[in-house]
Amino acid sequence: MSSNGASQRQGAEAKTRPPVHVAIIMDGNGRWAQKRLLSRILGHEKGSEAVRMAARTCREQGIAFLTLYAFSTENWQRPKAEVDALMRLLRRFLKTELPEMLQNNIRLNVIGRIEKLPMDVRQALDQAISATQGNTALQLNLALSYGGRDEITRAAQALAAEVQAGSLRPEDISEERLSSHLDTRGIPDPDLLIRTGGDMRISNFLLWQLAYSEIFVTPTLWPDFDREQFLKILDEFQTRERRFGRV
């Protein structure tokens, strides 16, 4: 009955628009290594190649935002050797990928509790973020020391401080106002969430922002996730009907 755009686009063959923002839970590095009797750390190393592929593919497909869950607030509880290795890999990744980010007009951004990261990683991040800040093609958001609950809690603290200072009335706290205190302020919500490694859970990723994202879970382990599979999901996304609570 309704004549709005969303309902006109429905139907198995109809294609909706490609995603503007893709978010990925890059899971399965450890299992990839364990299957090969290698150390988990080698799995993370191999996983960084898939990160490169994902960024390149988004860039080439004209996707505006890619958010990658690289390290969660809970991941700090892993063995120190694994955490240290992840931090080393991250610093190396930032150094080796900076030229490609500059060349491909990719802007780097980070979400999460960056103050918890080791100083050398923060320096590499700061350097890459400021070197790429004028870039306009793909915005690559790395979620580091990131937890959705932590992010919402920090936003609540900021709002409470404004109320206490007398600059905000409780009844003026709106969804927009709360969003404006999240690390993702200014970034549209993800249209598409991909999780590799087969687990059907969110694991504290973008709890607020994923409210209406389309979810794809693939059993493929992150180091095995390739361009062809990524393109297939992007294509399938366009056949999904997004109703946003309407009919």
Binder of residue 70, out of Mg ion, ligand IPE, none (CB less than 5 to 8 A by kind): ligand IPE
Binder of residue 203, out of Mg ion, ligand IPE, none (CB less than 5 to 8 A by kind): ligand IPE
Cβ pair 130, 102 in contact under 8 A: no
Of 75, 104, 135, 204, the catalytic one is 75
**DSSP labels, 109-161:** EEES-GGGS-HHHHHHHHHHHHHTTT--S-EEEEEEEE-HHHHHHHHHHHHHH
What is the rounded distance in angstroms from the CA atom of residue 106 to the CA atom of residue 96? 14
Q: From the list 24, 27, 55, 108, which residue makes contact with Mg ion (rule: CB under 5 A)?
A: 27
Closest CA to 44 of 58, 34, 56, 54: 34
Cβ pair 138, 64 in contact under 8 A: yes
Binder of residue 57, out of ligand IPE, Mg ion, none (CB less than 5 to 8 A by kind): none
**Shortest Cβ distance from residue 25 to ligand IPE (Å)?**
5
What is the rounded distance in angstroms from the CA atom of residue 104 to the CA atom of residue 148? 30
Question: Is 204 considered catalytic here?
Answer: no
| Residues at the site binding ligand IPE, with contacts judged by CB under 6 A | 25-31, 69-72, 75, 86, 197, 199, 201, 203
Question: Is 105 considered catalytic here?
Answer: no
Q: Tokens 């206490």 correspond to what residue? A: 164
**Shortest Cβ distance from residue 31 to ligand IPE (Å)?**
3
Binder of residue 56, out of ligand IPE, Mg ion, none (CB less than 5 to 8 A by kind): none
**Shortest Cβ distance from residue 133 to ligand IPE (Å)?**
25
Of 4, 27, 126, 224, the catalytic one is 27
For residue 160, what are its two tokens? 């409470």
Choose one: 5-13, 23-31, 116-124, 142-150; the region binding Mg ion (CB under 5 A).
23-31
**Shortest Cβ distance from residue 154 to Mg ion (Å)?**
24
- According to DSSP, the residues that pair with 142 across neighbouring strands are 68, 110
**Shortest Cβ distance from residue 127 to Mg ion (Å)?**
29
Select 27 or 183, whichever has its Cβ closest to Mg ion: 27
What is the rounded distance in angstroms from the CA atom of residue 135 to the CA atom of residue 138? 8
Residue nearest to ligand IPE (CB): 30
- Residue 203 backbone class (left: φ over 0; alpha: ψ -120 to 50; beta: rest): left
User: What are the catalytic residues?
Assistant: 27, 75
